[in-house]
Amino acid sequence: MIEVLILAVALSMDAFAVSIGLGAKHNSKVMPLALMSAVYFGLFQGVMPLLGYLGGRGILGWIESYATWLAFLLLLLIGIKMIYESFSEGIEEDIVKVTHRVMLILAIATSIDAMAAGFTFTLLAVNPFVACLIIGSMTFFFSWLGVFIGSKSGTWLESKAEFLGGVTLILIGINILLD
């Protein structure tokens, strides 16, 4: 279960970083923006790993002997991508107005990684529905908090959160490989 908590924190860092950027740029109506970010990001980060898990279960029979390596590779690639993105400007810099359509696009974009990470549930002794609930709840909390942090302090924490999330995912991948 500790792996799921660590995975939840790591996966939520992408949404946390975007929420910080949104809060820094759009800080006039913080509470509605925080709630909107939390709901969209939490919902998508909670559902997408379940889709990844179901897809992984569907192909597990074909790739069972390589599943550990594939899970490691997916987490490694997601982690490297997050670390790379931590050194570039966030997409939220170009957003003029936060609408439901914009939030939907951001939620999908930040949760694609979670879908790939959901594949690793096939290798962990964990209930995938509980894991998805934990990931969604953790992302809800961090997204809500991120808007407030961004509105008060700007974006200085944004890239650090994404970097930490990427490193954590790589470490989880290594742990899966070593078990």
* Greater pLDDT, 81 or 49: 49
Residue range 13-45, pLDDT digits in tens: 889 988 988 888 877 789 999 999 999 999 999
CA 80, 83, 84 angle in degrees (round to 5)?
85
Extract the tokens encoding 173. 């991948």
Rounded CA gap, 143 and 161, in Å?
A: 12
Render pLDDT for 98-114 as a digit per residue (tens, 0 to 9).
Answer: 889 989 988 988 888 88
Say if residues 12 and 139 touch (Cβ distance below 8 Å). yes
Distance CA 8, CA 111 (A): 12
**C-alpha distances out from residue 134 to 11, 92, 150, Å:** 11, 26, 24
Domains of the chain with bracketed CATH: 2-178 (1.20.1250)
- pTM for this model (two decimals): 0.80
